[in-house]
Amino acid sequence: MASGPGSPLPRPPPALEERSDEVLAATAGGGDDAAFVELFRRYRGRIEGFVRWQGAAEGDAAEELAQEVFVQLYRSLPAYAERSSFRTWLYALARNVCLYQRRRSRRVRAVERAPEELGPQGWRRIPDLGADAAERLAAGELRQRVRRQVAELPPIYRSVLVLRDWEDLSYAEIAKLLEIPVGTVRSRLHEARTRLAAGLSDRREEDDDDGL
C-alpha cells in the first residue's frame, strides 16, 4: 500500500559501521559485498594476529594465510546462521584454516612462537611506562619477555590465554571455539596466568643474577 502524504518516511538502513557483526554477516551472505568489506576491515588485523599466535605462518606468509581465512569466510557466509556469534564462528573458521596449514606443512603443533605484532588489543594488559626513552626500552624488554614466556606455555594453556587476554573473547566464546566446558576454560586460564607470572618472575631473577 502506498504511503499517504502525511505518512512518515521509512527509516534508512543504518550505516555499515553501525551494524552488528551478525547483521553484516547475514547481509554479506546474501550477496552484499560492501558488508563483507566492512567485516574484513574490522577483523583483518585480529585474524592476522591470531594466525601468528597459532604458529601456522610468519611474516608475509601470515598475511597470506589470513587472506585465505577471509576467502573461506566469503565462501561460507551463505551458510551462516545469525543465531550464533559471528566472532566465535570466524575464529573457529580461522582455527580450522590454521590446522589445515600445519598439517599440510607437516608442522603439527600448537603455537610455536609469539607473533611479531598483535591485533588491536595487543599488550593491553601491559601498561605504558612513560615517554622516557629508558622506560620505553624497559617496556619493550618486558614485552619480549612476555612473548617468550607465552611461547613456552603448553598449548592447552596458551590457547585460552591468547583468546581471553589478547583477543578478548568471552569465556563462553572460548568454550565453544575450543569445544570444552566453561569451567575448563576458567581453570586453564588461571593456570596459564599462574605459570606466566611464575615464568616472568624466574626470568627476572635470572636477569638480576646476571647483573651481579
Write out the H or E segment, with its range, that includes residue 2: none
Q: Report d(CA 96, CA 23) in Å as an integer.
A: 23
For position 53, what pLDDT does the model report?
74
Cell of 6: 502525511
For position 210, what pLDDT does the model report?
53
- Residues found in the chain: 212
Is the CB of residue 56 less than 8 Å from the CB of residue 94?
no
CB-count burial class (<10 Å; 0-12, 13-18, 19+) for 128: exposed
Q: Report d(CA 4, CA 62) in Å as an integer.
A: 57
For position 112, what pLDDT does the model report?
38
| C-alpha of 115 from chain center | 12
For position 126, what pLDDT does the model report?
43
Is the CB of residue 199 less than 8 Å from the CB of residue 152?
yes
Q: Report d(CA 36, CA 80) in Å as an integer.
A: 13
Is the CB of residue 195 less than 8 Å from the CB of residue 157?
yes
Q: Report d(CA 192, CA 64) in Å as an integer.
A: 30
For position 56, what pLDDT does the model report?
62
Query: Does the model's pTM come out above 0.95?
Result: no
Is the CATH code 1.10.1740.10 the one for domain 14-112? yes
Domain ranges of the chain: 14-112, 126-212
pLDDT beneath 70, residues of the chain: 1-14, 55-57, 83, 104-141, 202-212
Quick one: fold of 126-212? Answer: Arc Repressor Mutant, subunit A (1.10.10)
